[in-house]
Amino acid sequence: MTDMTSYPVPPKPRHTTFYSRNKLVITPLLFIAPAFAMFSLFVIYPIIQSISLSFYEWQGIGPKKWVGFNNYDLLFKDPVFWKALVNNIYWLVLFLLAPVLGLIIALFLNQKVFGIRLVKSLFFFPFVVSQIVVGLVFTWFYDPAFGLIAALIEPLGLKLPSILASEDWATFGVIIAGLWPQTAYCMILYLTGLNSVNPEMIEAARLDGARGWRLLVNIVLPQLRAATFIAIVVTVIGALRSFDLVAIMTEGGPYNSSNVLAFYMYDNAIFRYRMGYAASIATILFLIMDVYIVWFLMRLLKNEKGSR
């Protein structure tokens, strides 16, 4: 305990210390350091680890066997992989309907009448519910024997095809279920965006004779650019991450027709004990996301330069 007091007192700096000379470089680095350490440990390290795992054959326990690019070789010959990739593209394209639908609903709800707050929160409700619940509810909707849709259209003499049991329709059935909460999310983004639309500009445009479609496209939408950007970002991420709905509604079935990369990866790792193969799917998914992340970062950098 006594040795603490004998700590040598540093001599007072006469001119400058190393720190004060390099303050502008060191201080930001110090501030970044904790975040960087965390990010390296929990994001970068796992990415490197799973990429390296994709070159091994490993069943989760026991010895790992180096197989080089064999996993990728198998992957590119695997019809399920291509099916899942195509389905991911369906997800990506159709999910972009969410910002459009969200904008339409937001414009509709952006009025000041009695009770609109309640209506807004009801529209937002699907996003609050867990994805698992959304999946279950839609599964029951679609049920061709006991479901709500079947019960509604049966009196009209129509017969509902079994959406989730059909290899042609299962993916779209799941995507529609996914669009429901995603649209609600985009709607909220647009509603907050609409709040910050400058009313004077609208008024000025009105005076100049702009109305309806032209007012929306030329005056309102440009002011919603930030909201649109965020809406597209979260939607694309949502589409590429699509996993929970597939897991709960179809488990990728019938016979892989509604599989997506994220679920196929999980299926291989957890139920087939092919960790290396799953890691190679993860790597491919990561590369696909990279394209999009690069676009996102470039957009962001450009915006920041512009605002300076």
> Please, which residue, 143 or 260, has the CB nearer to other proteins?
143
Residues 268-287 that bind other proteins (CB under 8 A): 268, 270-274
Told to check if 57 binds other proteins by CB under 8 A, we report: no
The residues near 197 (Cβ < 8 Å, ≥ 6 apart) are 220, 223, 224
Quote the distance between the C-alpha of residue 146 and its chain's center.
33
Told to check if 165 binds other proteins by CB under 8 A, we report: yes
Burial class of 185 by CB neighbour count within 10 A (0 to 12, 13 to 18, 19+): buried
Burial class of 156 by CB neighbour count within 10 A (0 to 12, 13 to 18, 19+): exposed
Told to check if 133 binds other proteins by CB under 8 A, we report: no
Q: State which of residues 230, 253, 288, 296 lies at the interface with other proteins (CB under 8 A).
A: 253
Cβ atoms of 243 and 266 closer than 8 Å: yes
Find the shortest distance in angstroms from Cβ 137 to other proteins.
15
Q: Mask of contacts with other proteins, 91-130, x by CB under 8 A?
A: ----------------------------------------
The first and second tokens of residue 206, run together, are: 């009105």
Told to check if 1 binds other proteins by CB under 8 A, we report: no
Question: What size, in residues, is the chain?
Answer: 308
Told to check if 256 binds other proteins by CB under 8 A, we report: yes
> Please, which residue, 11 or 79, has the CB nearer to other proteins?
79
Told to check if 164 binds other proteins by CB under 8 A, we report: yes
Told to check if 223 binds other proteins by CB under 8 A, we report: no
Across 58-83, b (16+ Cβ under 10 Å) vs e yields beeeeeeeebeebbbeebeebebbeb
Told to check if 145 binds other proteins by CB under 8 A, we report: yes
* Positions that interact with other proteins (CB under 8 A): 60-62, 74, 79, 139, 142-146, 162-165, 167, 250-251, 253-256, 267-268, 270-274
